[in-house]
Amino acid sequence: MSLDGLRAWIGIVERKLTMRTRVFLVLVAIAIGGAGAGIYLAIDAQNDSVSEADLKALQEQVETQSGATGGTELSTLEAQVSALQEEVAQLRSGQAGSESSGGKGADGGSSAGTGGAGTAPQPEQLKKLLEQEQEDAGK
């Protein structure tokens, strides 16, 4: 009877070993597949990567495009701003001159300050000038 018991025990060990071998082979296949996918992705990423030369060429291209259009637009805008500042300064000096030359009225008060007649045209003039500048910039 002891020989039958040994045969049964060897059968159990053999089934466990067979199962472990199958699991091990499946795990090895998964590991090899994962390594292959990793290698493929690394090669693909290296092919799709940007080199320093590509990056420098793109930077130079952006700089030339922004320098060509941005420089002229910037100088045009600066000229328009300085012209508008001069016009505002002229309008302010004209307003200061009209208020100081307004003099006293018959009742002893200032005639320039009544009704706000001295300040009403300026915002309208500024709006017109702004509209003209916007039209000129749009052309």
What pLDDT is stored for residue 42 in this prediction? 92
Phi-psi region of 115 (alpha: psi -120 to 50; beta: other; left: phi over 0): left
Q: In Å, what is the CA distance from 93 to each residue of 89, 100, 104?
A: 6, 11, 20
Q: Render each residue's pLDDT in the chain as its tens digit; 139 residues.
A: 588 889 999 999 999 999 999 999 999 999 999 999 999 999 998 887 888 888 899 888 888 887 666 566 777 888 899 999 999 999 888 887 776 665 544 444 444 444 444 445 577 778 888 888 887 777 6
The verdict on residue 18 lying in a domain is yes
CA 97, distance to chain mean position in Å, is: 48
For residue 30, the enclosing domain spans: 1-44
What pLDDT is stored for residue 50 in this prediction? 80
The verdict on residue 99 lying in a domain is no
CB 126 within 8 A of CB 91: yes
The verdict on residue 26 lying in a domain is yes
Task: Return the SS3 of 7.
Answer: helix
The verdict on residue 64 lying in a domain is no
The count of domains in the chain is 1
Whole-number Å distance between alpha carbons of 36 and 44: 12
For residue 110, the cross-strand partners are 104
The verdict on residue 39 lying in a domain is yes
The verdict on residue 40 lying in a domain is yes
Which residue, among 117, 123, 85, 83, has the nearest Cα to 98 in the 3D structure? 117
The verdict on residue 4 lying in a domain is yes
The verdict on residue 3 lying in a domain is yes
Residue spans of alpha helices (H) in the chain: 2-48, 52-100, 121-138
> Does pTM top 0.95 for this prediction?
no
